[in-house]
Amino acid sequence: MHAGLNHYLTVSVLLFCLGFLGVITRRNLVVIYMGLELMLNAANLALVAFSRFNANLNGQVMVFFTITVAAAEVAVGLALIVALYRKRGTAHVEDLATLKL
Amino acid sequence: MPEFTDLLFYGLAALTLGFGFLTVANPFSRNPVTNAMFLVLTIISMAGLFVLLHAFFLAAIQVLVYAGAVMVLFLFVIMLLDLPEENRRQIKTLTLGLGTIAVAAIAGIFIKAISHAAPLAASDRWLDGETKPLGKILFETYLLPFEILSLLLLVAMVGVILLSKKDLK
Amino acid sequence: MFDWLNYNPTAAFVVFSALKIGIAFGVVMTMVAYAVLVERKVSAFIQDRVGPNRTAPPLALKIPFVGRFLQGLGIFQPMADGLKFILKEDFTPSYVRTIYFWLAPAIAVIPALLTIAVIPFGSMLGSEKMVIADLNVGILYTFGIVSLGVYGIVLAGWSSNSKYPFLGGIRSTSQMISYEIAMGMSVIAVFMMVGDLNLSRIVEYQSGGLHHWLVWRQPLAFVIFLVSAFAETNRLPFDLPESESELVGGYHTEYSSMKFALFFLGEYANMIASSAMMVTLFFGGWQPLWGAAPAGSVFAGLTHILWFLAKLVAFMVLFIWVRWMLPRFRYDQLMDLGWRRFIPLALANILATAIGLGLYSLASN
């Protein structure tokens, strides 16, 4: 079958769900973060596919922005995780059940 | 008879999803480094999908930024914190079951929606993601968001430097 | 004989690409082997020694005069070195993380070899363009691949599961990431002048002789690129990742035999790749000193390839020469140079280039 927009969107959805599954089931903060990255990437794929099949560059610009924001977000997020690890000596979400640091 | 690009699509899609699965739920290893390396592979095979979609610039940026910078940061943090493997804490069966059901439901809804959508009318003016038009639209139509984004990067940089100071108040 | 190729473009593409890949790979491997010999000979010359001059296979010395001469040059030394690497015991310590320990050397070599793919090493040979993949985003591809080279080193350091390799790996990674930024920014100014990311187009832009080379128009960019290339390849004066005096051997301390040889090979392949990049970006690629149009005949095509190789070798010798001339930087000096000197300089260079180009277009209108 010819690979059209639907195929790419399906891959994107499945990838998004995989990332979501990771966020729900894993207990390690860093791995949860990787799941988030996977979800962002899935959205990127959908945007690029839309951009290609609708002959419209706006989707690609959006992906460009997403990648930049993701880079900034990872830097801040990982810095937070490191700070948390220094304070509490753990990066497991189950150990981080208190509201106070 | 499927075309060569279609075969490439199926191959790359399978690789992306396979590596993605191994990123979040690797049955052989609970080591965060393994997860990170599979995420790198996912990202690289996804860059391949971008190339199939003729988004060459974004494919290069994807490898450059995600695989080259973001994931190295992940590896750094994992290695420097020396995160223990998740062995000592089994993932709860209940969580796993409920999570899988929820995610499968979401996937089902999405895929149903996609399959019910009217297929895009075959258009011959598909887009070629060349660098030049992308740059034009980025610096004309999207100039303000672009500038705001640079401000965001600056803020993120300051924030990270502040956060990584030893004596965090 | 090759008539059928003309009727089947796909088959022709596959055959010629495979040929080009095979030949480029072979040339790079040979150059790596002989770069090691040149390194030893040059270091011997600088330290007032003789260098390798004993190795010779049996019967080679039977050839009158020539055999002795080749032995004195050390021509046979790389074969002996290669044999030694293969025959040594391949030792894997018991405390390492085995899978990554085995994967790391391979991951370190592959990016260096992949970079060669987009570099135009000649103009034309017959009707074939002398570049393996003429990508429109050529240079971005290169930077993407180069940034993947970090993984081999960081994984080697981590999987060795011992202090010195780990420290070496961490050092090397942060050094490479830092200088990648300076390198990328220095190249932006070049693109602004050429207006294209395609490396073949950049070589075309520099046609017309020595004075059209971009090194004259972007000297600052070239200097930044050159120094960053030294840092990226972990060569002296920036070889802190493996500084023997403090880290034993850096990220490859625990490696032996063929796995160590792969790291070695990766370093030299990286040198070749970055030399090729410099030749392409700043020194006119395959163009002779007096400039030339893309070759019409096979002979001209071959001379263009030879010109490219000659420039490449000149840069390799520079790499080797500098190694034996300069002392090692301290780590904070290295980071200071990268972040506080080169990145602002590169930014200023971009700004200056933009202003220059703007004024030029104003004046020409």
Reported as a single tens digit per residue, the pLDDT across B134-149 is 888 888 889 999 999 9
How many CA within 13 A on the CB side of residue C68? Answer: 2
Quote the domain boundaries for residue A21.
5-93
What pLDDT shows up at residue B120? 65
What total of structural domains would you count in chain A? 1
Burial of residue A90 (CB within 10 Å: 0-12, 13-18, 19+) is: middle
% of chain C at pLDDT higher than 70: 96
CB atoms B106 and A20 under 8 Å: yes
Q: Is the pLDDT of residue B87 over 60?
A: no
What pLDDT shows up at residue A101? 61
CA distance B150 to chain C (A): 15
Distances, alpha carbon C118 to alpha carbons A34, A47, A58, C132, C252, in Å: 32, 28, 29, 6, 29
Which positions 5-44 of B are in contact with C (Cβ < 8 Å)?
Answer: 33, 37, 40
What total of structural domains would you count in chain B? 2
Q: Is the pLDDT of residue B89 over 60?
A: no
Give, rounded to a whole angstrom, the gap between the first and last alpha carbons of chain A. Answer: 55
Q: Is the pLDDT of residue B71 over 80?
A: yes
Asked if C144 contacts B67 with a C-beta cutoff of 8 angstroms, the reply is yes
Of B26, B52, B87, the residue at which a domain comes to its end is B87
What pLDDT shows up at residue B155? 93
Domain match, B134 and B65 both: no
Give the span between the Cα atoms of A53 and A7, in whole angstroms: 12
Residue type (1 letter), C142 = T
Of B54, B69, B87, the residue at which a domain comes to its end is B87
Are chains C and B in touch, 3+ Cβ pairs below 8 Å? yes
Domain match, B83 and B154 both: no
Lowest mean pLDDT among C133-147, C234-248, C261-275: C234-248
What pLDDT shows up at residue A25? 82
In the numeric block, which tokens belong to residue B37? 């390396």
A98 inside domain = no
Quote the domain boundaries for residue C298.
92-364
Q: What is the CA radius of gyration of chain A?
A: 17
In the numeric block, which tokens belong to residue B99? 């999570």
Provide the ipTM.
0.88
- Angle in degrees, 0-180, between the axes of helices C257-282 and C219-232, rounded to the nearest 10: 180
A100 inside domain = no
Are chains C and A in touch, 3+ Cβ pairs below 8 Å? no
A17 inside domain = yes
- Report the pLDDT averaged over residues B13-39: 86
What pLDDT shows up at residue A39? 92
| Nearest residue, CB atoms, B68 vs list C100, C136, C148 | C148
The model's confidence at residue C6, banded by pLDDT at 50, 70 and 90, is low
Q: Is the pLDDT of residue B86 over 80?
A: no
Which positions 63-122 of B are in contact with A (Cβ < 8 Å)?
Answer: 65-66, 69-70, 73-74, 77-78, 80-81, 83, 86, 89, 91, 95-96, 99-100, 102-104, 106-107, 110-111, 114-115, 117, 119-120
What pLDDT shows up at residue C253? 79
Tell me if chain A has a CB within 8 Å of the CB of B44: no
What pLDDT shows up at residue B85? 60
C314-338: pLDDT as tens digits: 999 999 898 888 888 888 888 888 8
What total of structural domains would you count in chain C? 1
CA distance A1 to chain B (A): 6
Give, rounded to a whole angstrom, the gap between the first and last alpha carbons of chain B. Answer: 65
Domain match, B1 and B69 both: yes
Higher pLDDT: C350 or C15? It is: C350
B152 inside domain = yes
Q: Is the pLDDT of residue C126 over 80?
A: no
Higher pLDDT: B3 or A50? It is: A50
Of B87, B118, B145, the residue at which a domain comes to its end is B87
Which CATH number goes with the domain that contains B29?
1.20.120.1200
Asked if C17 contacts C132 with a C-beta cutoff of 8 angstroms, the reply is yes
The residues near A48 (Cβ < 8 Å, ≥ 6 apart) are: A59, A60, A63, B49, B50, B53, B55, B58, B129
The model's confidence at residue C55, banded by pLDDT at 50, 70 and 90, is confident
The model's confidence at residue B53, banded by pLDDT at 50, 70 and 90, is confident
Rounded mean pLDDT of chain C?
84
What pLDDT shows up at residue A1? 58
Under 8 Å CB pairs connecting chains A and B tally to 231
Give the span between the Cα atoms of B97 and C163, in whole angstroms: 41
Quote the domain boundaries for residue B154.
130-169
Q: Is the pLDDT of residue B113 over 60?
A: yes
C83 inside domain = no
Taking CA–CA distances from B75, the nearest residue in chain C reads C154
List chains touching B (3+ CB pairs under 8 A). Answer: A, C
C46 inside domain = no
C252-303: pLDDT as tens digits: 778 877 888 888 888 888 899 999 999 998 888 888 888 777 777 888 888 8
Asked if B10 contacts B66 with a C-beta cutoff of 8 angstroms, the reply is no
- Report the pLDDT averaged over residues C159-177: 84
Which CATH number goes with the domain that contains A16?
1.10.287.3510
Among A29-33, A40-44, A57-61, top mean pLDDT goes to A40-44
What pLDDT shows up at residue C1? 46
Q: Is the pLDDT of residue C355 over 90?
A: yes
Cα dihedral C192, C197, C203, C208, rounded to 10, equals -40
